Amino acid sequence: MRDGLSLLAPEETVLAAMIEGWEQQQRSRMLANLTIERRTQIVRRLVVFTNDYPWRWSSADVEEWTTHLVESGAAHSTVRLYQMAASLFCSYISDVRYRWHEVCERHFGVHPVQIFHEWNMVVHRSDYEGRPGNRPLTRDELQAFFDYCDTRVNRVGASGRKGWLASYRDATLFKVIYAWGLRRREASMLDTVDWTANPAATEFGRYGALSVRHGKALSGGPPRRRTVLTTMEWAAEAVDEWVTEIRPLYDSDQLALWPTERSARVGAVSISQRFAEYRDAVGLEKHLGPHCLRHSYATHLLEDGFDHLFVQQQLGHSWGSTTAIYTSVGTDYKNNALRRALSRAFTTASTDEEN
């Protein structure tokens, strides 16, 4: 803003200029437009909550805002995300290089300061910050769950009781949720034609990529689409067997990948109910839901060495911080990563000494 200008509505004009300047700073860092928009929305919400302008904010406002967020039911990670966005804005407007202190002193007699500090911001409370019911399963827990799925199919089939086909369907459904990192609705709405080959991974045949057409929508927007690449050969084989040999037994002319006996789709509620039944049979905690399979997928991919950005795109996350909430790598993974780093360091040091 130019010196000497007389502003008709100084508060609103300066606030708008601050936000515009902050957005420009973030664009210069090549941040995604969606990231910038969300951060701006958070700052505007804080303005509304405090009913005051940023140059008059105080640390007490942070504590009142945080308390409001917590009482409104916001998750620990969400509160931290909000605080971080507002903290970045305060860092920008209090940086003397941008001269907002001069503008505010001239028009309002005060200057903006950083109000977010280590002592009034939430911290990482544990390695895993998602809701307890969504925690990733260990590989042993996951194997026990899938073993029960398969055992149930065999037991129902051997008994001659009705339900073998549904048991087979549910077992394959849970494997697909895990192996492609899907939400309940995403899995429920799949069709048989959503699978395609991936020229870069021909070993998976026609099941090299999955088109997810009913991804989680942004507020007020349509369902988001994404393509999830296949990473597990055993899962592609399970889907192939289901589609080509088992599913035709339903004698349905619908495209739904998971049909019912009445030619409808298996719904999200049914998925949760069946998961709870299997979970209890295996002895897992009762707060776990089917979404933990999606979290397990993200964690296990990272443990297997997949790039963090690849995992983020597979899950359809706009923000890498969301993916971080999903994951909780195990001690073995951490120790292996440490061992690889130390091995490279000592190998390099030995080579230098020899030279």
In single-letter form, the type of residue at position 13 comes to T
Given the residues 135, 247, 294, 300, select the one marked as catalytic: 294
Q: Which of 152, 169, 184, 317 is catalytic?
A: 317
Confirm whether 183 is a catalytic residue: yes
Spatial separation of the C-alpha atoms in residues 307 and 310, rounded to whole Å: 5
Q: Which of 80, 175, 291, 295 is catalytic?
A: 291
Q: What are the residue ranges of helices labelled H in the chain?
A: 10-28, 33-50, 59-71, 76-93, 100-108, 139-159, 164-179, 184-188, 233-241, 268-282, 291-303, 308-315, 320-326, 331-354
Report d(CA 138, CA 300) in Å as an integer. Answer: 9
**Residue in 106, 213, 216, 224 annotated catalytic:** 216
**Catalytic residue status for 97:** no
Q: Which of 191, 189, 194 is nearest to 214 (CA)?
A: 189
Give the integer Cα–Cα distance in Å for 195 and 228.
Answer: 10
8-state DSSP, 119: G
Question: 45 an active-site residue?
Answer: no
- Residue 19's nearest CA partner among 39, 3, 34 is 39
Which of 80, 135, 175, 183 does the annotation list as catalytic? 183
- Asked if 201 and 208 touch (Cβ cutoff 8 Å), the reply is yes
Distance CA 293, CA 297 (A): 6
Cα–Cα–Cα angle for 117, 121, 122, nearest 5°? Answer: 155
Rounded-to-integer distance, Cα 77 and Cα 229, Å: 28
Check: CB of residue 269 under 8 Å from CB of residue 131. Answer: no
Specify the long-range contacts of residues 66-70, CB closer than 8 Å, at least 24 apart: 66/120, 66/122
Q: Has 214 been annotated as catalytic?
A: no
Q: How far apart are CA 325 and CA 246, in angstroms?
A: 37
Annotated active-site residue 317? The verdict is yes
Catalytic residues: 183, 216, 291, 294, 317, 326
